[in-house]
Amino acid sequence: MKMTFRWFGSKSDSVSLEQIRQIPGMTGVMGFLDYKPAGDVWTEEEIKKYIDEVHAAGLECEVIESVNVHEDIKLGLPTRDKYIENYRITIRNLAKYGVKCIVYNFMPVLDWLRTDLARPNPDGSTSMYYDEAELGTLSPIDIVKRTADNCNGFSLPGWEPERLEDLEKVLKLYENVDEEKLLENYRYFLEGILPTCEECGVVMACHPDDPGWQIFGLPRVAHSQEGYDKIIKLYDSPCNTVCLCTGSLGSNVDNDVPSIIRHFGKMGRIGCLHVRNLKHLGSDRCFCESSHLSSDGDLDMYEIMKAIYETCPNTYIRPDHGRMIWGEVGRPGYGLYDRALGVCYLNGLWEAIDKAAKSDTEVK
């Protein structure tokens, strides 16, 4: 397992590479150029600049996140071919600088969604929070505005302003796209890019829908084992993989996260993992993002790490969203302290699982 940390670049992150490197067991970052609009080519110059900086800090950068898919591709519009060609160029450019895994998602219009980015917890920390009952009182435009107003001035991954400008128009276009049509458009996209990935030795890892169900009547396909099975079948290639985000999948109480990890781990189809916990509050569709500790949330982090250890031990993982603790002010979900605590906890579980497995082998 390679432990990594998401980093938004020196101009955009409140956390420095030096701080990341000082977290015990850290091997590298999951990178991101947060200023790139969906559909644009990520140029060699900008990739080199970002990755050189990471290398100079003594860290690796083999995973890149949020190379966002242009809405015209998800909608299946005639203009999609141009954006698919741009995506292929980006894949080649990233591969030239050592990137092995690209995380993306196929969620229509909105990426991950919360109704509160800083909900106070009884211990004085704050967490990101989602309540479907509250979402019911808001329009997509209201939630976009609320999210933009509450992000402490930081950009949020998946919430690029350009993409959300034409929100009303885009939402209207989705009235003609059901789940089946979305899957067809998804197949067309994969057919367009996966041969390039095979050629360059890069895997594509699809991030789950977050929360893990449909919202605002938009079609969404990546929030269950069955949904991912369909995606994997769209194009059979070892480069067609899952970014297994335990918090996104775990938001849906029907998902057994360790068992989903085992299913795709055994198939060799986990490109990387985001590992975090969450706690449901009074309803299946209301949750807050807890600390990583099993006893603070609903997910069994020991079973999750064990499933990774047993089925995909060489994968990249990173702690995911943390709470804001110790008075830290930063990008919601992406402060230093709670994520660093998450890393130490996950590393501790890993060491215990590894030692237990080795001593079992010795006894036998």
Q: Which residues are catalytic?
A: 207, 245, 274, 320-321, 334
Q: Please classify residue 295 by burial: count the beta carbons closer than 10 Å to its beta carbon, then call 0-12 exposed, 13-18 middle and 19+ buried.
A: exposed
The size of the chain, in residues, is: 364
Q: 284 CB contacts (<8 Å, ≥6 apart)?
A: 253
**8 vs 337, which CB is nearer to ligand DNO?**
8
Q: How far is the CB of 93 from ligand DNO (least distance, A)?
A: 18
What is the binding site for ligand DNO (CB under 6 A)? 65-66, 103-105, 111-112, 157-158, 207, 245, 274, 333
**154 vs 353, which CB is nearer to ligand DNO?**
154
Strand order in the sheet with 279-280: 116-120, 126-131, 286-288, 279-280
Q: Are 261 and 312 within 8 A, CB to CB?
A: yes
Q: How far is the CB of 96 from ligand DNO (least distance, A)?
A: 21
SS3 73: helix
Cis peptide preceding 211, ω within 30 of 0: yes
Q: How far is the CB of 245 from ligand DNO (least distance, A)?
A: 6
Instruction: Report CA-CA distances (Å) from 63 to 11, 70, 136, 235.
Output: 19, 20, 36, 22
Instruction: Report CA-CA distances (Å) from 360 to 262, 354, 356, 357, 363.
Output: 20, 10, 6, 5, 5
**23 vs 128, which CB is nearer to ligand DNO?**
128
Q: 125 CB contacts (<8 Å, ≥6 apart)?
A: 323, 324, 325, 338
Q: How far is the CB of 6 from ligand DNO (least distance, A)?
A: 8
SS3 letters across 234-297:
HCCCCCEEEEEEHHHHHCCCCCCHHHHHHHHHHCCCEEEEEECCCEECCCCCEEECCCCCHHHC
d(CA 81, CA 182): 16
Q: What single-letter DSSP state applies at residue 78?
A: T
**122 vs 328, which CB is nearer to ligand DNO?**
328
SS3 81: helix
Q: How far is the CB of 120 from ligand DNO (least distance, A)?
A: 20
**24 vs 146, which CB is nearer to ligand DNO?**
146
d(CA 358, CA 213): 39
Q: How far is the CB of 29 from ligand DNO (least distance, A)?
A: 13
d(CA 205, CA 226): 16
**65 vs 131, which CB is nearer to ligand DNO?**
65
Distance, first Cα to last Cα, the chain: 25
Q: How far is the CB of 75 from ligand DNO (least distance, A)?
A: 17
**275 vs 301, which CB is nearer to ligand DNO?**
275
Strand partners, 130: 287
